[in-house]
Structure 1
Amino acid sequence: MPDAWKQIDDDFNRLIRSLTAALADRQVAHTVGETMQRLGIDWDDVTERFRDLPTWPQNLVRVALASDLLTVMSSAVVSDGQIDDDEMRVAYDLSRYLVLYMSALERYRSFADLTYDEVRLFMDQFQRDSLPFGGRGDGPTFLFSARLSLAVASATGNRTHMQTFETLIQTILSLVFGGVPRCSAEREFMAKIEKIFATLQGVRLSGQSPGGGSLWTAGEQTAVDDGYDKLVSENPDAERLTPDEALTAAMQELDSLVGLPGVKAEVRRLTAFLKIQQQRKKYGLRTSTQTLHFVFTGNPGTGKTTVARIVGKILYGFELLKTPNVVECSRADLVGGYVGQTAIKTQEKIESALDGVLFIDEAYALSAGGEGERRDTFGSEAIDTMLKMMEDHRDRLVVIVAGYPRLMREFIETNPGLQSRFTRYIDFEDFDVADLCRIFEKFCADGEYSLSPHSRARASILFTLAHHERDERFGNARFIRNVFEQAIGLHSERVHQLPPEQITREVLMLLDGADIAMNTLRNIDAEQLDLSAARWHGQCESCQTSSSCKIDFLGQRVTCRKCQTAFTFPWWNLVANTIPGVPGGWRPTAEDVEIDS
């Protein structure tokens, strides 16, 4: 992460310097102005207020670039309809950096000292701002610096500005999406960005067009306009799913989750209950008054936040809530630093979640104290305020509290009001080795990476060790994401050193054994692992005959010797005691057949 922020800072300042230097040349500036007019920007009107300042043209470039980066970042953060804690942290860190330049505009000066609690307000105001350098898609300067970079390239023949701008956007999106897009909405957003850049990079470099007309061909104009227009929705509610669509989407998302059989069963049980209550209401029968507040218990990375979003869609689908929105928070979002502030912060946060779901992660921290009696008093104040608002808005709010199993049980027991309102529990168990491997494989597929048998072998060994040594701090899917992000980093370093003629599409996609960082868990020297006798267990999907194989067959299509059915050999069942010092979860029997020699 620190390297990414340094890259953003370096590229941001490099682009400011290069565009400022280009515009300092009067002839270039004149040509750029004409080109910007043909790109749909009223150049004279937009730049008028900046020209009389001594910092011209740097002041224009700074504001324009800050506006564009905020536009892309804020749109990416909400692209999937939700904002999780990691996305909010990125939004805050980047907004705090860029708002210093945006404060050159009077309407943003009040945000010059942006706090974490103000970032949602700032993003909302910015995205609705249709004035010059606001974030609305129909504003007069939407993606101004992207067009400016193209205009400078047109005037000078130098495309490095455009390339730097593209790199800057890609780095920001990588931070927002945690390395790679995690859902279809995020992938669609990335596709729109890539479409814009692909079109811009293909525009011919000509400051003049025949007859003084548009710089674009008809196809180029359509492609860029399509990307610009769809990047930010003019009406955030326009793309909201209908209740029926939300319910269907929720069940599809639930089915697509790796593992979590107990969680899926509980959510389906909830869905059945709500459906029957809906039908009873239709026939005029009494319906249950059971509370719909939940306690999610489980270790980190077990899918609690993801399932909370699914539950939000389900409750909206049955029209028990007016929106599918889930507002995520923690103790820091609810508890103030002085007497009287906590009740205000808690009330504001809950009000932002009305007609949807409030998801409180690590909720036990509200009663844990941790820094003496004073802080514990503040936590109790937050709990009391929450309980009162849950009662006052019982038809408009569902609260889900989540955290470690033991600590959550203790938390609920601290207050009778919590015990009476939170009666629905869903336990999120740690993923087993097979699920950890499947999650890793999904990360790879979503990121358009493939796995070699040797990368599967190393990942299987690493995940087997991690599962065997886990405690309540084990990160589950978060640990797998860390392994994946390290893998694509090592892959990039390795491929970067190859001769250009060897860098093919297949090479760019294939993760090999050397790309799996075995020291992610602890100081494991991969070169010291003796894999000569390593075996993995598999089972024919047709006749259920068991077999074992060596590394070369992992994840490959094989044929069952008993029934001749082809199946993909699984790579997560490392056979016990076949690698010295590495535990395995499966032990062979005399009936098992080895399919390789």
Structure 2
Amino acid sequence: MDTVSIKQEYEKTEIEKVISNLEADLIGLTPVKSRIREISALLLIDRLRKTVGLTSSNPGLHMSFTGSPGTGKTTVALKMADILYKLGYIKKGHLLTVTRDDLVGQYIGHTAPKTKEVLKKAMGGVLFIDEAYYLYKPDNERDYGSEAIEILLQVMENQRDELVVILAGYKERMDIFYESNPGLASRIANHIHFPDYSAEELLEIGKVMLAEQQYKITREGEDVLLKYIQLRKEQPLFANARSMKNAIDRARMRQANRIFENNSQVPLTKSDLVTLDITDFLQSRVFALPTPEVAKPTSPYGMYSQQLQPGEWGQ
């Protein structure tokens, strides 16, 4: 065979559908989507080269996803697993998400079987290790994380045709983690950074979340929600889309209480049950904080003189 069709291969593998869904499902994240397209293009061309008998080195598939919580890393990992499966680079296409606790034991002889059991379950798919830097604790002589890393390194090198590993976490911590583990860093071919969402993007994400749960928000409510997001982003423990979900859940609870207290004896319309208004958001404690312009900095987390207490974030 001397000729091949990119279009035919694109359609046969259904990669276009996966990438289109990625574009539709995720708001923002333009650099991430571009990087996924680049990786997909490389893998598709590699597949075509094999078809016509050309030499094709096995592309490095292990990845690093860095960014704050709630920026879509797990969602993109799921899409990546689907792409790798459809292109024939993994056999099963499933994603197994784990943390340090799933890999590292508490006593001598416990870590190896735990790690090997996880790797066994992940074979044929993608292993997603969240907050991967917690595997390495050089200050603790009794820590067994290094044993898990050694086993992981062996599998990433010797069984790379059977398993793809994605390491994820905050960028600064992941950079230190890789500096401390050069063998691990050398096996990661693709580094993708997930930027924080803008306030406007988070508003769109919130509206999508509401629509999925068959709720809607008034135009005035959108303005208040946008202001809430802008204030909440200045507070500690902000987690992008996760914080957005928490805000929506609390607003739904306030709406339920509002309806119950004010309309317990009055028949309700469908609109009453699906609409969130400004009061459902204005009750958040975030709005009780002083504004950055008039507050004095008393915390390393921001410019507010009054900080929310633990358990109050985003209420």
Is TM (by shorter chain) over 0.5? yes
Provide the C-alpha distance between the structure 2 equivalents of 1:357 and 1:338, rounded to a whole number of angstroms: 27
1:290 paired to 2:59? yes
Aligned residues: 282
**TM-score if structure 1 supplies the norm length?**
0.45
Partner of 1:411: 177
Counterpart for residue 156 of structure 2: 390
1:315 aligns with 2:97: no
Correspondent of 2:23 among 245, 255, 268 = 255
In structure 2, relative to structure 1, the CA distance for the partners of 1:517 and 1:390 (3 Å cut) is farther
Equivalent positions of 1:276-355 (< 5 A) are 276-355=45-124
**CA contact under 8 A between 1:302 and 1:429: conserved in structure 2?**
yes
What residue in structure 1 maps to residue 303 of structure 2?
none
Contact 1:244–1:317 (CA<8 Å) still a contact in 2?
A: yes
- Structure exhibiting the larger radius of gyration computed from Cα positions: 1
Q: List aligned pairs for 1:75-224, cutoff 5 A.
A: none
Structure 2: unaligned runs, 5 residues or longer: 1-11, 296-315
Aligned to 1:508: 273
Q: Which residue of 1 aligns with 2:44?
A: 275
The structural deviation recorded for 1:495 is: 1.3
Provide the C-alpha distance between the structure 1 equivalents of 2:138 and 2:248, rounded to a whole number of angstroms: 36
Q: Distance in 2 between matches of 1:517 and 1:303?
A: 27
Deviation at 1:423, TM superposition (A): 2.4
Deviation at residue 369 of structure 1 after TM alignment: 5.2
Trace 1:54-93 onto structure 2 (pairs within 5 A): none
Q: Which residue, out of 236, 239, 249, partners 1:475?
A: 239
Structure 2 SS opposite 1:297:
strand
Q: CA deviation at 1:392?
A: 2.7
Residue 500 of structure 1 deviates from its aligned partner by: 4.7
Q: CA deviation at 1:320?
A: 0.6
3-state SS, counterpart of residue 132 of structure 2: coil
Aligned match of 2:218: 452
1:465 is aligned, of 231, 236, 253, to 231
Q: Structure 1 CA distance, aligned partners of 2:181 and 2:37?
A: 29
User: TM-score scaled by structure 2?
Assistant: 0.84
CA distance in 2, matches of 1:354, 1:517: 49
Q: Secondary structure at the match of 1:307?
A: helix
C-alpha distance in 2 between matches for 1:253 and 1:342: 38
| Higher RCO (C-alpha under 8 Å, 6+ residues apart) | 2
Superposition CA RMSD, Å: 2.2
Over the matched positions of the two proteins, sequence identity in percent amounts to: 38
The alpha-carbon deviation at position 250 of structure 1 amounts to 2.4
Contact 1:487–1:517, Cα closer than 8 Å, also in 2: no
Task: Please give the secondary structure, in 2, of the residue aligned with 1:364.
Answer: helix
How far is 1:340 from its partner?
A: 1.1
Distance 1:456 1:323, change over 3 A: same
Aligned partners of 1:351, 1:253: CA distance in 2, in Å?
Answer: 30
**CA distance in 2: counterparts of 1:426 and 1:418, whole angstroms:** 16
Of residues 141, 153, 161 in structure 2, which corresponds to 1:373? 141
Report if the CA contact (8 A) 1:315-1:324 is conserved: yes
Gap runs ≥5 in structure 1 = 1-242, 530-576, 582-597
Q: Are 1:525 and 2:294 an aligned pair?
A: no
1:485/1:326 CA distance change after superposition, 3 Å: same
Shift of 1:470: 5.3
Alignment pair present for 1:432 and 2:164: no
Between structures 1 and 2, the one with greater helix share: 1
Shift of 1:249: 4.6
Paired with 1:339 and 1:490, the residues of 2 have a C-alpha distance of: 50
Maintained 8 Å contact 1:369/1:379: no
